[in-house]
Structure 1
Amino acid sequence: MGVGVLLAVVGAILTFAVRANTSVISLPIVGIILMVAGGLLIWHGRKGTQRKRVVTREERPSGATTPTNTVRQTIEERDID
């Protein structure tokens, strides 16, 4: 997420603070592109990665041959950087 913030800040500086004129490249347009890219990286970083895992377990009393209970458990995991 830090890279996204850096891109957004550099883009804002290029768009709003730099008044240099170049005939090759438009600095305000480059700044807007960097701000959009930074915003997308921040959004993607906050979204994180989410996984679901389903665990099915059969419980049997000692000495029994057939299960008496079936337990299904859903585990949701989320990775946050």
Structure 2
Amino acid sequence: MGPGVVLAVLGAILTFAVRANTSVINLTIVGIILMVAGGGMIWHARKGSRRQRIVTREERPAGSATPTHTVRQTIEERDID
């Protein structure tokens, strides 16, 4: 998500703060393009976020020193829009 924010900020600076006139490139249009690209990158990063957590535990009967078996559990969490 960081690069998307950087692009959006640079685009906003070019669009709203820079007042230079060049015959080669229109800085306002470049700024708008950068803001749209940054917004798209932020949206894509938020939409595809998911986390995976793996829990491993040993189960042993009461009074026993050695575990009888190990349980491994995978939990997958997804952000829903």
With structure 1 as the length reference, what TM-score do the two structures score? 0.61
- What is the distance in 2 between the residues matched to 1:41 and 1:13? 18
Cα deviation, 1:14-33, whole Å, max 9, x if unaligned, reads 00000011000000000000
Q: CA deviation at 1:7?
A: 0.1
- What is the distance in 1 between the residues matched to 2:37 and 2:13? 14
| 2:22 aligned partner | 22
Aligned length: 55
* Alignment map for 1:26-41 (pairs within 5 Å): 26-41=26-41
CA RMSD of aligned residues (A): 1.9
1:2 and 2:22 correspond: no
Amino acid at match of 1:14: L
Consecutive aligned runs of 4 or more in structure 1 exceeding 3 Å deviation: 75-79
SS of residue paired to 2:41: helix
Cα deviation, 1:1-59, whole Å, max 9, x if unaligned, reads 00000000000000000001100000000000000000000000001156xxxxxxxxx
- What is the distance in 2 between the residues matched to 1:34 and 1:21? 18
User: Structure 2, unaligned stretches of length 5 or more?
Assistant: 51-74
User: Structure 1, unaligned stretches of length 5 or more?
Assistant: 51-74
